Amino acid sequence: MKIKEIYNLAIQMGIKADFREEQGIRKFLENKRKQYEKMNEKEKQEFDKEALENPYLDSRIYHIADDRDIKKVLVGVDIEPAEVLMAKEIGDIDLIIAHHPIGKGLAHLADVMDLQSDVLNFYGVPINIAEGLMRERIEEVARGVNSVNHQRTVDAAKILKINLMNSHTPCDNLAAKFLKNLVEEKKPERVGELVDLLKEIPEYKEAIKIGAGPEIFVGIPENRCGKIALTEITGGTEGSPKLYGKMVNAGIGTVIGMHISEEHRKEAEVAHLNVVIAGHMSSDSLGINLFLDELEKQDIEIIPCSGLIRISRTG
Ligand SMILES: [Fe+2]
């Protein structure tokens, strides 16, 4: 496979697993086009035109040094210059695939957070409330990533002539879909049963060994789950803490998340919302693995690094 084919596969898999479904994504892109058409010439010049076709601007190809057939990839959750050097040292790495965005993917992280409004709406939060609270948070995240050294890793890849891309939200969508299907199939009644169910997943089993397994952050094992929502697995990064009260009003009893800040945790506690934190690297690994399995089927060799717990489900 060529880099562009691998990249397109990631995007297509992400769309298939997306809460908004294909129709919702089409509308999202149409809306972007309408905004673009209203722009003046100067605004159009500055506009990132990839936004008209790619619903996941946090997932990009950053550098193609050599557009060769890809046989061996180095894949990690966070790729920094150290991992680029590692690829050089290994010697025959055709492509590095990062999970977390870097470069312009990171600069556009806030763009994918719109998805969270749709996920919240899917679980019963009125869209006006979801959009209103998410808008504040999206602006906050956009300002937050403004100060980082965006191109550091991309520059390293350019200097060392290494191919580099990432897949963030498409992989997180795969993890969310996987967990949603599991919860809907097994229907755990109590929060403790939900944690036990997660602990059966191989990525989480591995995480337990290093002390990073699934845990209850709000609630007790005996609490009943009520409606379980997968609102915190995909959609860029954490949403607004003000949403928890609204989620409870919408009938949500338990949230499964990858990670949670202390400010968010306190708000969830006040709202009597159970929170199960599945684990960050392990949850990211689950989504990445579901994508990597498709590459493995194409005879691409995978070298995991930087927090990726590689589990193959290709049989
Ligand atoms: Fe992550």
148 alpha carbon – ligand 1 mean position (Å):
17
Q: Look at residue 254 and give its three-state secondary structure.
A: strand
Q: How would residue 167 be classed by pLDDT, with cut points 50, 70 and 90?
A: very high
CB 245 within 8 A of CB 271: yes
Q: How far is the CA of 159 from the centre of ligand 1 (A)?
A: 27
**40 CA from centroid of ligand 1 (Å):** 36
- What pLDDT score does 173 carry? 97
Distance from the CA of 109 to the center of ligand 1, in angstroms? 12
| Mean pLDDT, rounded, for 88-92 | 97
- CA of 172 relative to ligand 1 center, distance in Å: 8
CA 282–ligand 1 middle distance (angstroms)? 9
- Please provide the average confidence, as pLDDT, over all residues in the chain: 96
Residue type, 150: H
Question: Over 90: is that where the pLDDT of 26 sits?
Answer: yes
> 54 CA to middle of ligand 1, Å?
20
Model pTM greater than 0.75?
yes
Phi, psi values for residue 263, rounded to 5°: -60, -45
* Helix and strand counts by DSSP (H, E) for the chain: 14, 9
CA of 41 to the centre of ligand 1 (A): 36
Q: Looking at residues 308-312, what average pLDDT do you find?
A: 98
Ligand 1 centroid vs 135 CA: distance in angstroms? 21
CA of 51 to the centre of ligand 1 (A): 22
* pLDDT mean over 269-295: 98
How many angstroms separate the alpha carbon of residue 37 from the centre of ligand 1? 34
Kindly tell me the sign of the dihedral angle through the C-alpha atoms of 113, 118, 122, 123: positive
Q: What is the pLDDT of residue 119?
A: 94
pLDDT for res 166: 98
Would you place residue 80 in the very low, low, confident or very high pLDDT band (cuts 50, 70, 90)? very high
pLDDT at 315 over 90: no
Question: How far does the centroid of ligand 1 lie from the alpha carbon of residue 100, in Å?
Answer: 6
Please report the pLDDT score of residue 171 as a whole number. 98
Q: Where do the DSSP E strands lie in 125-163?
A: none
**Please, which pLDDT band fits residue 36 given cuts at 50, 70 and 90?**
very high
pLDDT of residue 123 exceeding 90 = yes
Q: Please give the distance, rounded to the nearest whole angstrom, from the Cα atom of residue 199 to the centre of ligand 1.
A: 19
How far is ligand 1, taken at its centre, from the CA of residue 307, in Å? 10
Q: State yes or no: pLDDT of 10 exceeds 90.
A: yes
Measured in Å, residue 45 CA sits from the centre of ligand 1 at 32
State the residue for tokens 């959609």.
235
Q: How far is the CA of 34 from the centre of ligand 1 (A)?
A: 31
Name the percent of the chain lying above pLDDT 90: 96
Give the integer Cα–Cα distance in Å for 179 and 188. Answer: 12
* CB distance 255 to 125 below 8 Å: no
